[in-house]
Amino acid sequence: MDDAKYQKRDQTSEKLAQKMLQGWTMMGCHCPQCFTPFMRNKDEMLYCVQCEQYAVFEDEKSTNSCIIENGNDPKTQKAHSISSERTDGGAGTC
């Protein structure tokens, strides 16, 4: 690993730690874009600290795909496979 990869890894680890200190929960599934574990806030929204985007499931009952939001512009959203199935069908669990 070169220095840039170590720095990015360390920055991501720091962001994950900060979210946990703020009361967020680290989930057992990861972002389909960067493979960083999703964090869940108190409103049960999934967030990727590396991409700095929220994950939204295309269908409340679907466990196969989610959308990584890029700000408020729906034109920049892309569908991706999610790494593990959600247990209750809710938006805030994997």
- pLDDT tens for 36-84 read 999 999 999 999 999 999 998 766 555 455 666 655 444 333 434 444 3
Question: For residues 69 and 43, what is the distance between their CA atoms, to the nearest angstrom?
Answer: 16
On whether residue 11 sits in a domain, the answer given is: yes
Confidence of residue 87 (pLDDT cuts 50, 70, 90): very low
CB 25 within 8 A of CB 40: yes
- The answer to whether residue 10 is domain-embedded is yes
What is the pLDDT, as a whole number, of residue 14?
98
Number of domains in the chain: 1
Asked if the structure places residue 87 within a domain, the reply is no
Query: How much is the pLDDT for 56?
Result: 80
Model pTM score: 0.66
Structural domain harbouring 8 = 3-81
Does residue 86 sit within a domain?
no
Domain-located, residue 23: yes
- 54 belongs to a structural domain: yes
Q: Is there a domain that residue 90 lies in?
A: no
